[in-house]
Structure 1
Amino acid sequence: MRPSLRSRAHFMRGFTLVELLVVIAIIGVLIALLLPAVQQAREAARRSQCKNNLKQIGLALHMYHDTLGSLPPGWIANHPSTNKPYWLGLPGWGWGTRILPFMEQSSVQDNLIDYRLPMLDSFHDTVRTTSIPSFICPSDTGGTTFTLEPGSMPAPNYSVTFTDTTVPKANYIGVFGTVRMVNAGCPTGECLGNGSFVLQKGFRFRDLTDGLSTTFIVGERNSKFSPSTWLGVFAGAAHAPGRIVSVAENPPNSEVSPGFTFSSYHPAGTQFLSGDGSVRLISETIPQATYHALCTRAGGEVAGEY
């Protein structure tokens, strides 16, 4: 017997409005539960890539050391009048440029850089906008370049003309130490921090007497307050040396002088490269004494738990 029209209408009844709202609410709850997990997975992948970048830098530094007998100088700069080392002098090339051949970037160094010329020389127009992916943390989103603005030059007998200049971004900078540059002899020429990357001097691994595994040599800095570059120190630019090295005066992500310390966009902490090539994630709650012990090359301190 064929079903009646009334029976067919009963079988074909659709969802009610309440049922649809319940389904939508359930889907919304599932998405809300899933989204943080997806974001955490993405951040974990970005942090892993960031760690790999630091490991690559560490490997390059070790190969540089094996080839030339020391780590590269933090930066090389001389006073144009006296030709003596001067933290805001010329040409200003930083440690990051020196390891390019060991990061499969020989063409950049060979074709785009002349270390005898200042970084603002027209010969370097191309390299001043050349981004090196291995120097950028994937968690630090945004452009691969930034505008470096003029700053003050604390030397009455030496001044340069510096205007807004586009430079490549970098998120990995050298550890100058735990003492501010103005207190480490930089204005007078010595500029010898107690870390691993300082003006004009390249340390040997044996100079890191605190131990390679307990000495941080490179760390992260995000671009929120003071973007960094891998090129070097631009004479006349704002916070020029602080663009390639940092002072670990305060713990990572500190709200005190945030533009001059180490920092990251990783929610769990900031990653550091040790002298032995290992990479560690350091929380912003690390004890100050322990952090300082890790950021000096020969302080004789004993690094505690971290």
Structure 2
Amino acid sequence: MSHNQYEQQDPQEQFRSPQEQTGGQQSPPGETRKMPDTPDHGERTYRGSGRLTDRRALITGGDSGIGRAIALAYAREGADVLFTYLPEEEDDARETARLVREAGRTVVAVPGDIRDEDHCQDVVKRAVSELGGLDILVNNAAYQMAREGGILDIDTEQFDRVLKTNLYAMFWLSKAAVPHLEPGSVIINTASIQAYQPSFQLLDYATTKAGIVNFTKALAENLADRGIRVNCVAPGPIWTPLIPATMPEKKVESFGGDTPLGRAGQPAELAPAYVFFAAQESSYITGEVLGVTGGKPLP
């Protein structure tokens, strides 16, 4: 079972099945090196073709998981990258930075918490200053914590953290970025299958992801006359450090098994969707949601 970006393969068998994956329970936000089955970010397989040559991208949550895969793909497509990460994710951030540098592109790694509005504004300023401008904003960072009791187990502190990380930061970053985005620039948000098929254990998280879908559609209409496109990727179950860090062990053991393809997706399988939305080839697409869900339908 190996992933290759170009060779035709059976998608059911391309990566590990739930019976073969081991998460290794850990405390949030989770670290890649602590996962017995390390996610595939495209390190050995993603090959660029110059689709984002000399573009400047800001990616939140770029240290691991989907964010790392996006950073790697953008760099191999020719983009320079600034990414954000939590200070406790320093080890993962160093690896993402190494991958971008190895691709021959500029990388800026910025620690901090995007729940802080001043930090969000500073991140945008640094991207414009240190990359020489900004063409792509990827609002990817998110927080979740599954609660088996649903609403009765979700306290105000968690609810506040989820909304601030997933919704407020997206609003702050987008608002700060828009004055710097030239026509042809893009904003890409990360939603989730949870926006359409919510689990009560992730009530707060699902609520934010539904909000992200509507934010994307409204902002796309808002910014169309500026020539800025806004789109959204809605992942299904994806194998990242967030899973063993925020879900019960039994859920981790079966994670992704309920999809038609019968397995969790890998970050490397998400990156091409973000490349597509950032590239000029998607010039007539805005306000759209692309599901990468292993066959789970989006309405």
With structure 2 as the length reference, what TM-score do the two structures score? 0.26
More helix by share: 2
Q: Which has the higher contact order (CA 8 A, sep 6+)?
A: 2
